[in-house]
Amino acid sequence: MKSLRLQLALGAAILTAMASTNVAMADDAPAWGTVSAYVAAASDYRYRGISQDDRQFTPQGSINWTGPEGFYAGTWESKVDWVGHNNPSFEADFYAGKHTDLGGTDLNIEAYYYSYPDANFPGTKASYYETIVQLSHAFGPLTLTATGANSPEWSLSGGTGWYAEGTAAYAVTDWLTFSGNLGHQWVQAAPSDYTHWDIGATATWKSWSLDLRYFGNDIGKTNCAAFWMGTKDACQATVVATLTYNIANLFQ
């Protein structure tokens, strides 16, 4: 589960996607919009503080269309492994939304579907839907983002899910940004809710970016294995490195 997901969990992939989107929205963009993409290699896939790939090397990628009036849509893919034996083996997400300028503050409303096509959990399904709302404002080099999300039925029959997150990103130079996230996840069927955090830096050079980030949470090993993920090690704190290659305009 991306962003136990997100999306803006400003992990490396998310920072990269935002950078690609900003390039695509430049003044010289064609009337129908632009299509950007990226491929990434990460030492682990962390979604809302929890490993989604059994703490393994993870290839990822995304294709994103940015259209007129702030509309956008895209897909995001990643290798995953929740409980060992590659069940599921990959995640294919689909999203669409709209950015609206509120006097210098960006409002982003997004429909997001988390899909696990080869998941095998008899009697329930892994795929689920979230509505995500974000407010973002830049104060010079500092950008603050508030995120809220709701799922009417969390993955594996978890019931209603709610999520809240705050993100701060500070651009030290045009090639180096420090950022951090603090998020809280509630799921109806969970034994308890939890808080997660991360802090790190992203360096860019031409079409490349390298993100180094420390992830942590307050989930105990028992609850991690019993509900949030199939193994107790998935919730351990760790440092994740992500190398990303961006294509700002596929058709340029």
Residue 123 placed within a domain = yes
Share of the chain above pLDDT 90, in %: 82
Q: Is the pTM here over 0.85, yes or no?
A: yes
Its domain, for residue 116, covers 12-247
Residue 2 placed within a domain = no
Element (H, E) at 81: none
Tell me what the mean pLDDT of segment 1-16 comes to.
Answer: 38
CATH number at residue 99: 2.40.160.40
Residue 1 placed within a domain = no
Residue 236 placed within a domain = yes
Per the structure, the count of domains in the chain is: 1
pLDDT for residue 30: 80
Residue 38 placed within a domain = yes
Exposure string over 3-22, b if 16+ CB within 10 A, otherwise e: bbbbbbbbbbbbbbbbbbbe
pLDDT for residue 29: 63
Residue 140 placed within a domain = yes
Residue 100 placed within a domain = yes
Model confidence pLDDT, tens digit, residues 173-221: 999 999 999 999 999 999 999 999 999 999 999 999 999 999 999 999 9
Model confidence pLDDT, tens digit, residues 91-137: 999 999 999 999 999 999 999 999 999 999 999 999 999 999 999 99
Residue 6 placed within a domain = no
